[in-house]
Amino acid sequence: MNRRYAIVGVVALLALATTGTLVAYSPADATAGSPVEPSELEGSYTVSEATTVDGDPFFSRESTVDAETGEQRTTLSFEAITYDHYWTEDGDRYTKITAESEERLADRLEESDRETVVREYEAEPSVIVEPTEDTNADDGPAGDAFPDTLTHSQLAMTAFTETGTTTVDGTTVETYEPHTGWIDVGDLADDRDTMYVADADGEVHVGPDEQLYHANVTLERIDAETWGGYLLERGDSSTTTFEYDVTESAENVSPAWFDDAEET
Per-residue confidence in pLDDT tens, the chain, 264 aa: 444 444 334 333 333 344 444 454 556 678 999 999 999 999 999 999 999 999 999 999 999 999 999 999 999 999 899 999 999 999 999 999 999 999 999 999 998 888 999 999 999 999 999 998 877 667 899 999 999 999 999 999 999 999 999 998 888 999 999 999 999 987 666 556 788 999 999 999 999 888 999 999 999 998 888 888 888 877 778 899 999 999 999 988 999 999 888 776
* 118 in any annotated domain: yes
Torsion of CA 75, 103, 51, 142, to 10 degrees: 20
* 218 in any annotated domain: yes
Indicate the pTM of the whole model. 0.85
* 226 in any annotated domain: yes
107 φ, ψ to 5°? -60, -40
Q: Cα separation of 56 and 237, whole Å? A: 15
Check if the beta carbon of residue 51 is closer than 8 Å to that of residue 77.
no
Count of structural domains within the chain? 2
State the residue range of the domain holding 86: 65-143+255-262
Please tell me whether residues 98 and 227 are part of one structural domain.
no
DSSP letter, residue 256: T
* 165 in any annotated domain: yes
Question: Of the candidates 210, 225, 216, which has an alpha carbon nearest to the alpha carbon of residue 244?
Answer: 216
Q: What is the pLDDT of residue 223?
A: 83
Q: Cα separation of 212 and 229, whole Å? A: 34
* 111 in any annotated domain: yes
* 58 in any annotated domain: no
Q: Cα separation of 194 and 224, whole Å? A: 7
Please tell me whether residues 155 and 89 are part of one structural domain.
no
- What's the distance, CA 214 to chain centroid? 12
* 223 in any annotated domain: yes
- CB crowding 98-116: b at 16 or more within 10 Å, else e: bbeeeeebeebeeeeeebe
Please tell me whether residues 137 and 149 are part of one structural domain.
no
Please tell me whether residues 35 and 149 are part of one structural domain.
yes
Check if the beta carbon of residue 53 is closer than 8 Å to that of residue 256.
no
Please tell me whether residues 221 and 236 are part of one structural domain.
yes
Check if the beta carbon of residue 230 is closer than 8 Å to that of residue 220.
no
